[in-house]
Structure 1
Amino acid sequence: MTRIIPGVEIQVIKEIVPQQLNPSGVVAMIGTTEKGEVLEPTYVSSYSEFVNKFGAGQGYTVVRDVKQAFQNGVFQVVVVPISGMNSEKASLILKDRKGRETVKLTARKSGEEGNNIAVKIESEPESELVRLSITDGANFEIFENVVMEPTGEQYLVDKVNGRSTLVTATDLRSSSKFPNNNPDNIEDKLSGGKSGAISKADYEAALDKLEGEPDVDIVTACDVTDPEIHALIEAHCMKMSIDAKNRIGLGTVASGESIKDICERTKVMASDRFALVAPYGNLGAVAGLISKLNYYESPTFKPLSGISKLEANYTPSEQMELLKAGVIPIEAQRGRGIVVVKGISTSKEQISVTRIADHSVRGVKNITDFFIGTLNSPSGRNALKGKITEFLMQMEREGSIVPSTDGKEPAFLLDVYSSEMDFAQGIVRVNLAVRPVRAIDYIYATIKVEA
């Protein structure tokens, strides 16, 4: 509208400001736990929180690795418990005052965890009311004045199934007449809970759950040395990179595995998306270290915490063989402690380079998502190019991307354009090239001696 009366017209234009990237440093750990909901990804920010939610019992695969990860500064861990497809739930059958079966209590969670649930029934012989107490040691549930009369408001089965987080109740239809069909006094524990044999399908199911967790940077299967499971993790990481949810898988060699057998592993899986750690027993520490570092920092020669000794001490020649095969060797060095010799993936690419590329992909994806529907004009496309340039310049200031040493090649090249055919189809293209900084692993010294 053209103004007739002199004055000032104000037009407010909202600038598109992309959201910040999800925090890096989140490690997903798949394995067995003492307790916790099976196949339910759960975030924990400290080892004490992990123990509270999942327990610290011996023999469960996640415990050692998650402890090592927190000792080495991990930002956050996503735990995905697995228990095996053929696991069984613990249960307890309550008998009534005539000795007949009247109620079956079944643990809500599968596995041995249910065997820790204790049940106590208290009632007076002449009373129609029963007091039911249930505990697993950490949680206590009390059901006052319940009965086995299905039509009553205090029906035991309805109360337990509606309120209990530990067990479910099933009415076994005792032939005794009320109130003799009420449970008799007892103090006992549930039994029969056991974990099934962990299979490849369990890890596949856990990885499927992780697809919905965009914050994850690193994926590990705790205490797993099976190459088939490692291949599943690598395939998962490759799949997630298609949608800019870039992540890297970590695996460990087996206890006592020979150098020859370790090197054979990488012949069938050379990938930028998977790294293999040797010797056995240090997977969680390496995952924690990588997650703690800035995305552009290399784990090479960085010390590991919480490890007092290594299962195997590789000689320099053995370390050379492992590095040539694309394996991360761990070494105890005098004055440095236990360090990562070189942070590489099974393709022999530096992990830091892959993480820099991943960061640039995530950043560009994060920015471009907010410009969809605004790129119909050259000014809109220029605005997109400006925002991406701003992001890349920040990466250059951080030192994650660098120009060539002779100064002839810039740290990044960027072009945002749309051809006539692209424009007709609603397509805008972003061409981007970045130069990730590489870890300086070798120093060559020239010494001049003047006699």
Structure 2
Amino acid sequence: MTRILPGVEIQVIKEIVPQQLNPSGVVALIGTTEKGEALVPTPVSSYAEFADKFGSSESFTVTKDAKQAFQNGVFQVVVVPISGQNGTKGTLVLKDRKGRDTVLLTAKSSGEEGNKIMVKVEGDADSIRVSVSDGASLEIYEDVTMNSSSQNYLVDIINQRSAMVTAEDQHSSAKFPHNNPAAVEGQLSGGVTGVISKADYEAALDKLEGEPDVDIVAACEVSDPEIHALIEAHCLKMSIDAKNRIGLGSVAKGESIKDICNRTTVMASDRFVIVAPYGCLGAVAGLMSRLNYYESPTFKPVSGLAKLEKKYTPSEQMEMLKAGVLPLEAQKGRGIVVVKGISTSKEQISVTRIADHAVRGVKSVSDLFIGTLNSPTGRAALKGKIIEFFMRMESEGAIVPSTDGKEPPFLVDVYSSELDFAQGIVRVNIAVRPVRAMDYIYATIKVEA
């Protein structure tokens, strides 16, 4: 509108600032746990928090890998417990003073572990005290009742606060307070561990699709190639929507070099890494999480391992590297190190992570420009923001020019043809040159006599 009266008109334009990218290095671990609800992805930021929520018994597959990951500086672990098919949870029925069922307590964790939970009920007819313990933790609920209209209603209190059990009202025919549980000291029973199958891992991976921060996925203590193929397929699927991920898998205990190398003949992928020997998966996952996305794991030491399950000879290491397997080796003065950080396609892990970071960054920038690209000015602004993002990557050392200086670290072109414009399409062409780990040093020594 043209102003009639003299004055100043001010227009405020908010600059488009791309959102911060999701943190790099969040590891998802799938496997069995001592406690915790099955198929519920749960983030933890320390081993102490993991032990509190999922237990510390190393007879369960996730525990050892989670400990190794935190010992190696993992940013965050997302735990997805699996319990297996035909598994059941331990239960205990509390009865009122007339012997009628009034409350059903059910363990939150599946299997025999739930059978360890002890329950003690004390008190008089009007108010009771309930104690729940699994040997490591103790929960006490004072002055609870079976009066459903009370703020101390036992069923609601336990369901809201307990980390070990859930409660279900059995609707005793007695009226309050006669439906309060009678004094008793009992133990949950009937919990049976189910048989872990391929379907359980498929269900866990489905749940992980809703966790956008995850960029490393591992099935703990699993050497089955079919499960590895599931993880690789999941990572490929997620990369379609710029939720790029890399899967990790372990070899079997005592597996021969021939069998290890045969694994990559059926699955050569930038999205999957096979770790050898057995027992190092969590340490490698933690190392990858700790490193910047543009840093290679090659020759980096891992922590938390006293020794390797198997020591490979140089010729065996060479065979595995040629096949696309990531081996670890104990070196004097260095500790246990990753010999070379490669995926099953023999591509360097750092190169894949740099490309993934570029994809995420371009998507994050482009999302903010949707609906504003119908003019050359809008498209130029998009190009400028993408160039700005790649300049940051260049300053970090993630992308580099060619050694002769003739090729730049990145190229960006934003355009829309007449047909594209009619269909509401803008195209972005990008080329990047990820920095590669310099794995070999050739020395020439001149001797003057």
TM-score, length basis structure 1: 0.92
Contact 2:115 2:190 (8 Å CA) reproduced: yes
By how many angstroms is 1:182 displaced? 5.9
Report the counterpart of residue 342 of structure 2 in structure 1: 344
Report the counterpart of residue 206 of structure 1 in structure 2: 204
1:133 lines up with 2:127 in the alignment? no
1:146 lines up with 2:162 in the alignment? no
1:159 lines up with 2:156 in the alignment? no
Contiguous gaps of at least 5 residues in structure 1: none
What is the distance in 1 between the residues matched to 2:301 and 2:7? Answer: 68
The code of the aligned residue for 1:110 comes to S
By how many angstroms is 1:4 displaced? 4.5
By how many angstroms is 1:118 displaced? 1.9
Report the counterpart of residue 48 of structure 1 in structure 2: 48
By how many angstroms is 1:111 displaced? 2.6
Shift of the 262–153 alpha-carbon distance from structure 1 to 2, 3 Å rule, reads: closer
Report the counterpart of residue 436 of structure 2 in structure 1: 438
By how many angstroms is 1:93 displaced? 3.2
What is the distance in 2 between the residues matched to 1:142 and 1:5? Answer: 73
Contact 1:145 1:154 (8 Å CA) reproduced: no
What is the distance in 2 between the residues matched to 1:187 and 1:58? Answer: 29
Shift of the 97–8 alpha-carbon distance from structure 1 to 2, 3 Å rule, reads: closer
The code of the aligned residue for 1:136 comes to S
Residues 291-343 of structure 1 show CA distances to partners (whole Å, capped at 9, x for unaligned) of 11111110000001111110111000000000000000100111111100000
By how many angstroms is 1:205 displaced? 0.8
1:395 lines up with 2:361 in the alignment? no
Equivalent residue of 1:249, what SS?
A: strand
By how many angstroms is 1:112 displaced? 3.0
| Structure 1 stretch displaced more, 369-378 or 47-56 | 47-56
By how many angstroms is 1:376 displaced? 0.7
Contact 1:107 1:168 (8 Å CA) reproduced: no
What is the distance in 1 between the residues matched to 2:24 and 2:13? Answer: 32
What is the distance in 2 between the residues matched to 1:27 and 1:436? Answer: 23
Shift of the 118–390 alpha-carbon distance from structure 1 to 2, 3 Å rule, reads: same
By how many angstroms is 1:178 displaced? 9.2
The code of the aligned residue for 1:135 comes to V
The correspondence for 1:359, drawn from 357, 360, 384, is: 357
Equivalent residue of 2:214, what SS?
A: coil
| Structure 1 stretch displaced more, 159-168 or 397-406 | 159-168
| Structure 1 stretch displaced more, 397-406 or 364-373 | 397-406
Report the counterpart of residue 299 of structure 1 in structure 2: 297
By how many angstroms is 1:85 displaced? 2.4
Shift of the 4–344 alpha-carbon distance from structure 1 to 2, 3 Å rule, reads: same
What is the distance in 2 between the residues matched to 1:361 and 1:181? Answer: 61
What is the distance in 1 between the residues matched to 2:232 and 2:143? Answer: 53
What is the distance in 1 between the residues matched to 2:383 and 2:30? Answer: 40
Shift of the 445–93 alpha-carbon distance from structure 1 to 2, 3 Å rule, reads: same
Residues 118-140 of structure 1 show CA distances to partners (whole Å, capped at 9, x for unaligned) of 2223356xxx4462413135352
Report the counterpart of residue 412 of structure 1 in structure 2: 410
By how many angstroms is 1:382 displaced? 0.2
Report the counterpart of residue 38 of structure 1 in structure 2: 38
| Structure 1 stretch displaced more, 104-113 or 64-73 | 104-113
By how many angstroms is 1:155 displaced? 9.3
Report the counterpart of residue 88 of structure 2 in structure 1: 88
Equivalent residue of 1:320, what SS?
A: helix
Residues 172-214 of structure 1 show CA distances to partners (whole Å, capped at 9, x for unaligned) of 857x999887644321111121221111111111111111111
By how many angstroms is 1:96 displaced? 5.1
Residues 267-295 of structure 1 show CA distances to partners (whole Å, capped at 9, x for unaligned) of 00000000000000000000000111111
Contact 2:120 2:132 (8 Å CA) reproduced: no
By how many angstroms is 1:159 displaced? 3.1
What is the distance in 2 between the residues matched to 1:183 and 1:135? Answer: 14
| Structure 1 stretch displaced more, 212-221 or 188-197 | 188-197
Residues 254-279 of structure 1 show CA distances to partners (whole Å, capped at 9, x for unaligned) of 00000000001110000000000000
Report the counterpart of residue 261 of structure 2 in structure 1: 263
Contact 2:58 2:64 (8 Å CA) reproduced: no
Equivalent residue of 1:217, what SS?
A: strand
Equivalent residue of 2:153, what SS?
A: helix
| Structure 1 stretch displaced more, 115-124 or 327-336 | 115-124
By how many angstroms is 1:168 displaced? 1.9
1:284 lines up with 2:288 in the alignment? no
| Structure 1 stretch displaced more, 185-194 or 163-172 | 163-172
The code of the aligned residue for 1:162 comes to D
Q: What is the root-mean-square deviation of aligned Cα atoms in Å?
A: 2.3
What is the distance in 2 between the residues matched to 1:449 and 1:340? Answer: 35
Structure 2 counterparts to residues 223-242 of structure 1, below 5 A: 223-242=221-240
How many residues are paired up? 442
Report the counterpart of residue 22 of structure 2 in structure 1: 22
Shift of the 153–393 alpha-carbon distance from structure 1 to 2, 3 Å rule, reads: closer
By how many angstroms is 1:144 displaced? 3.2
The correspondence for 1:221, drawn from 209, 219, 240, is: 219
Report the counterpart of residue 162 of structure 2 in structure 1: none
1:168 lines up with 2:167 in the alignment? yes
Report the counterpart of residue 2 of structure 1 in structure 2: 2
Shift of the 419–56 alpha-carbon distance from structure 1 to 2, 3 Å rule, reads: same
By how many angstroms is 1:160 displaced? 3.4
| Structure 1 stretch displaced more, 17-26 or 274-283 | 17-26
What is the distance in 2 between the residues matched to 1:98 and 1:371? Answer: 69
Contact 2:38 2:82 (8 Å CA) reproduced: yes
TM-score, length basis structure 2: 0.93
